[in-house]
Structure 1
Amino acid sequence: MSRLTNHLIVISFDCLSALDFPTLQELPNFSKLLKNASYCKNVETIYPSVTYPCHATIVTGNYPRKHGIINNTFLQPGRLSPDWYWHRRHVKGTTLYDEAKKTGMKTAALLWPVTAKAKIDYNMPEIFANRPWHNQILVSLFNGSPFYQLDMNRRYGHIRKGLNQPELDDFVLASAVQTIKTRKPNLMLIHFTDLDTQRHYHGFSSEEAMAALKRHDDRLGRIIHALKESGIYENSTLIALGDHSALDESKAVKLNVLLRKAGLIQVKKNGKVTDWKAYCKSCDGSAYIYLKDKSDSATKKSLKTLLTKLMQDKQNGIERVLTSDEAREKGADEKAAFMIEAQLGYYFKEQLDGEFIDEIHEEDVREKKYTFASHGYSPEKKNYSTVFIATGQGIQRNKIIPKIHLVDEGPTFARLLGLSLGNTEGRVIKELLKV
């Protein structure tokens, strides 16, 4: 299969929404990009629409049920900070960067989710120190490309302020620019989270979110300039995309509070979970409900009764209850006994104490107990699609594609590089390509 491009640069602007498109058209660098680009402003995301499953979908062309990244974090009942699906080993099947590496292409990934320990030439994985005795820099070095990361940290580490935004994205940008100029990778995956962070803690349409969009425009401009300066711009394909949108919320639903009261979760006085029969695992706008023993029909029956009763009153925040089969049909984890979808204005948390429904206040958000906006909701929610913009080598000019799905992106990227991801659940967006 012939290659359509020599360099594929994929920039993921986490939480970029179709609702942002009019703003993008007014920003200097995005508007320049759009003049010659083809795009879709109606990209349907996956379920649950959270970051790690989304990014695994983008590089595999498959739904979470197939690639195995069914949530951001693991099912670890009662743990305040569960571990994330950081590592490549959790992804089932092949990925875009695996296939590129097999053919000898140079690969780079900067804070791309689920790439820890991946076989990527220049790898700065998204992973953080999740134990009191862990050191952030050592955790990153151990799970990515150590000499490459040491070089980037030596040059640009002063920019960063831990995991705080916008400094973290500014560090990623500086590293990306340097990598383009000095390494000229054939495949580069860049993940920016500034916008996502601002929306979580300030709201979807907040001034802070709008300021992040402007910073992203500057970042896009810097990357385009680096491609031109390095002499590879004419032989490159540039992709700017979002993974999901977000919705504002004012109430947190804590189903585990009711499960604990019903005796389905056992907790010590210090708050540690000692045993459980059923547990609500949050995906923010949706949640999985797992049984410890899948054959526990009595607990499953009582759960169904409880959920049916809760759904009858909209004040409880549950819009829909899905069976495991219905969750699988939507691409989610079929191992869950149930999956629940939040009403507009609500999202799910895993806390075991307090009220079942909590009003979200400013001080709670400042303390990072709750957020003002989140994702994870069903792609069927209104005004919830994301965007896809492509320009450069191998791409048709000024094609407006009415609708695509997140699973279509990986197979399309593979085709641009003359690769195949095998039997994917997504399709190659042929109408986008110059073949």
Structure 2
Amino acid sequence: MMKKTIVYGIILIICICTLPSCKSSSNVTGSTPTINSKASLEKPYVILISLDGFRWDYVEKYQPPHLSTFINNGVKAQSLIPSFPSKTFPNHYTIATGMYPDQHGIIGNSFYSNEKKVTYNIGNREMVEDGTFYGGDPIWVQAERAHMVSASYFFVGSEAAIQGIRPSYYEIYDGKIENQKRVTQVIDWLGLPKKRRPHLITMYFSDMDDTGHKYGPRNDEELKKALFDLDENLGTLFKEAEATGLPINIIIVSDHGMTELSTSKMIPIESIENDELFLTINNGAIVNIHPKKDIDKDAVYTYLKQKEAHFKVYKTENTPGFEYTPKNKDWGTFQVLPDFGYYFSSRKRIASLHENNITTVGVHGYDTKQKDMHGIFYANGPAFKNNYAIPSLKNIHIYPLICEILKLEIPNTIDGKLNQINSVLKPTVN
């Protein structure tokens, strides 16, 4: 009996002693997460927050109080220019790597992988968590390699072991998790002992994208409600992060903007599909065409050109919208682009929208020359200037900015350039 009492007592002591580390429900990379090196302990902190689908003009239009104060005391770009196509997965991963989609490989929310002979889809958890789809060196990989602890409460790529590396703490995506729980976890991470405390944290909120898709970007009532609810969560984060007394720099971005679409201008993707001639990968504002083996490519091109109606067909290398000549084979041989204000969807979805009397939705993915596609870049913290504005900025440049703040090595393979964004930093950081 005495032996049992002693054993139970030891177990109780162990549980009490380890309680702070059990507070987080986060996944931990391996059994031994990264411990901050002596050099990392001296570095500041960066929280990178993505507000999916947050259009460049929402703050000025609706004046959310906490975000407005954050911006007025920090820096902002007129807009953040996404990479083409202006879709969620390609642009989140561009922000994470400093690379255009053509180079990092996540070229769409769906795409055909010539190497794997499968179609990647963001709804397939096995693929989303397969690190072999993801190229480049995401910012958390750079941090972990430098023996700097990183954490992620959702960000494209953070759930996958990329080159065998995940953030020290990470969460498997679940859109049902309330924003406040995400904020609380981040503050808990910042409260960890110094050696285990992440100096890089990424976060993700989908509120504005969800609302924009459902109601379109001109429904002031619904957008303002969603924005002010989100603003309260961000206000809590700002306040509690400041209360830690740590040198925390917060960078707020979005992956793309949003434009209004009449559901009468949706084009059935089935109207151009031909399974005997080619594989069709539809991303709404861009459709990748992969001719089948032994099928004459000119015949495919002619077939599609004859069908043009509110869309145009291009050879991939001649497709407008790209900031470079696309070379990644996963794009396919041809691209089909709907005219701005038109969008490809399935007959089933189009019928459902009409049956429910939905006449307007929000979409994105178009050429980034369309200002509606632009997102946001705001930043605040000890590294940043106060009340400072810059012109519109490409999202490839955010990666080297974070590297500079955390004094991480900037890979020479990225597309982003520090000199395109470092004017936002105080001279002591440059």
TM-score normalised by the shorter chain: which range applies? 0.7 to 0.9
Query: Which residue of structure 1 lines up, in the alignment, with residue 370 of structure 2?
Result: 381
Tell me, yes or no, if structure 1 residue 321 matches structure 2 residue 334. Answer: no
1:163-312 equivalent positions in 2, closer than 5 A: 163-164=175-176, 168-182=178-192, 184-206=197-219, 207-232=221-246, 235-249=247-261, 250=263, 251-259=265-273, 264-265=274-275, 276-293=276-293, 296-297=295-296, 300-311=297-308
The answer as to 2:119 corresponding to 1:109 is no
How much does 1:82 deviate?
A: 5.5
Equivalent residues of 2:122, 2:128 under 8 A apart: no
Q: In the TM superposition, what is the alpha-carbon distance from 1:332 to its structure 2 partner?
A: 7.9
Equivalence for 1:343: 339
**Identical counterparts, % of pairs:** 23
SS in 2 for 1:310: coil
Gaps of 5+ in 2: 1-38, 113-117
The structure-2 alpha-carbon separation of the partners of 1:410 and 1:361, relative to structure 1 and needing over 3 Å to count, comes to same
Amino acid in the other structure paired with 1:46: S
Residue 90 (structure 2) pairs with residue 61 (structure 1): no
Q: What is the CA deviation profile of residues 388-419 of structure 1, one whole-angstrom value per residue up to 9, with x for unaligned ones?
A: 01111222222211121011111111111111
Match status 1:425 vs 2:415: yes
Residues 310/171 of structure 1: CA separation in 2 closer, same or farther (3 Å cut): farther
Alpha-carbon separation, structure 1, partners of 2:74 and 2:307: 47
- Is residue 317–residue 327 contact of structure 2 (8 Å, CA) maintained in 1? no
Give the aligned residue type for 2:70: L
Paired residues for 1:365-376 under 5 Å? 372-376=361-365
Judge conservation of contact 1:253–1:348 (CA < 8 Å) in 2.
yes
Residue pair 1:286, 1:378 contacting (<8 A) in 2 also: no
RMSD: 3.0
Aligned with 1:400: secondary structure? strand
CA, structure 1 residues 115+321, in 2 after alignment: closer, same or farther (shift >3 Å)?
same
- Asked whether the 8 Å contact 2:77–2:377 carries over to 1, the reply is yes
Q: Counterpart of 2:424 in structure 1: which amino acid?
A: L
SS at match of 1:290: strand
Matched residue SS, 2:71? helix
Give unmatched runs, 5+ long, in structure 1. 129-162, 266-275
> Counterparts of 2:199 and 2:184 in 1: how far apart (Å)?
19
Q: Give the counterpart letter for 1:94 in structure 2.
A: D
Q: CA deviation at 1:74?
A: 4.2
Q: Could you say if the C-alpha distance between residues 364 and 64 of structure 1 is closer, same or farther in structure 2, counting changes exceeding 3 Å? A: farther
Residue type of the alignment partner of 2:185: S
* Residues 81 and 11 (structure 1), Cα distance of their counterparts in 2 relative to 1, 3 Å cut: closer
Q: 1:354 to 1:108 in 2, by over 3 A?
A: closer
Contact kept? 2:111, 2:119, Cα under 8 Å: no
Structure 1 residue aligned with 2:26: none
8 Å contact 1:341–1:378 — kept in the other structure?
Answer: no
- d(CA) in 2 for partners of 1:81 and 1:92? 19
